[in-house]
Copies of this chain bind each other. A is one copy, B any other.
């Protein structure tokens, strides 16, 4: 994906319309949250199964694609304004997640409320069992 190209198109779009003045990171973060919620709304009344099957409904998928695009547009615009390298940040976060959620501790974890048992929580709970102080 050519992020640089997308950044250029979005910057040109804003400048041509004299809208750059409204593109503070604060406002862009609001736009991003608003679009993420429009995407959320598509799935609001669907069951999880229906949400999987949505891929077979062309009209709904058109709507889904538009909202995914809107979220990404705000993310790129915000990253451009704050000089954030999205790809670099993503791989860094994936590595952090791989470290935080070791396979051995996460696999087969059926706890409803802690789908994501963090390694630090497990370490802490081991300390407690030993009678150690936190």
C-alpha spacing A68/B131, complex, angstroms? 34
- Chain B residues contacting A3 (CB-CB under 8 Å) are 1
Does A10 touch B at the CB level, under 8 Å? yes
Does A123 touch B at the CB level, under 8 Å? no
Does A124 touch B at the CB level, under 8 Å? no
Interface size class of A (residues with CB under 8 A): 35 or more
Q: In residues 47-72 of chain A, which contact B (Cβ within 8 Å)?
A: 47-52, 54-55, 57, 59-61, 64-66, 68-72
User: CB-CB contacts of A19-50 with B at 8 A, as 1s and 0s?
Assistant: 10010111101111111111111111111111
Contact B87 A2 (CB under 8 A): yes
- Which residue from chain B places its CB closest to the CB of A76 in the assembled complex? B90
Contact B55 A26 (CB under 8 A): no
Q: In residues 69-119 of chain A, which contact B (Cβ within 8 Å)?
A: 69-73, 75-76, 78-79, 81-84, 86-87, 89-94, 97-98, 101, 103, 106-109, 112-113, 115-116
Beyond A1-B86, A6-B90, A69-B89, is A24–B37 a contact (Cβ under 8 Å)?
Answer: no
Chain A to chain B: the 8 pairs with minimum beta-carbon distance, closest first: A37-B37, A26-B51, A69-B93, A36-B36, A24-B48, A17-B106, A69-B89, A25-B51
